[in-house]
Amino acid sequence: MKIDYSMDIFLDRIKEFYWLLLTALFSVFSPVKHALIFLMIAFMFNIISGIITDVHVNRAPFSLKKAFNAFTQLLFYAVCVVFLDYGARLMGDADIGITAVKWLTYIVVYFYLTNIFRNARLVYPKSAAINFIYDLLSTEIFSRLKDMIGIKNNKDYQND
């Protein structure tokens, strides 16, 4: 009786290919893992604050469409981070790639943080600290300062 092991050999090759792809993927993500972790933490905090705001303030049910949209944005940022780093390394400018990844990460996290404080402002409308931090992050504080010292906006001059 002859036993055919060709299917076992095929499955072993599939497993080897899977581990090869997984290792290659980890090697690409390894140089930017801290940026990706930072983005993921900000993303999760943003999603949680958005869900809390929708449920408690807007009285809206969980929206799978909004969650999917947020996830695709995170995926876009993550791909940009990997692309910038990997492309700069391919071109021999690893330091520029690291700088670009850092700046992109800071900018994206800044906007996540602004949105988190906007949501917190809706949940805690009487909190002076949250309102101040949101005004500072969203640059609305500059409009308030101009109003306090009596500087008019160009729109105000056009209406006079």
CB crowding 40-62: b at 16 or more within 10 Å, else e: eebbebbbebbbebbeeeeeeee
**Mean pLDDT, the chain, as a whole number?**
83
Residue 88 and residue 98: Cα distance in Å, rounded?
8
pLDDT digits (tens, 9 = 90+) for 5-38: 677 788 888 888 888 887 776 666 677 788 888 8
Q: Has this prediction a pTM greater than 0.85?
A: no
**Segments of the chain scoring below 50 in pLDDT:** 160
Domain ranges for the chain = 31-125
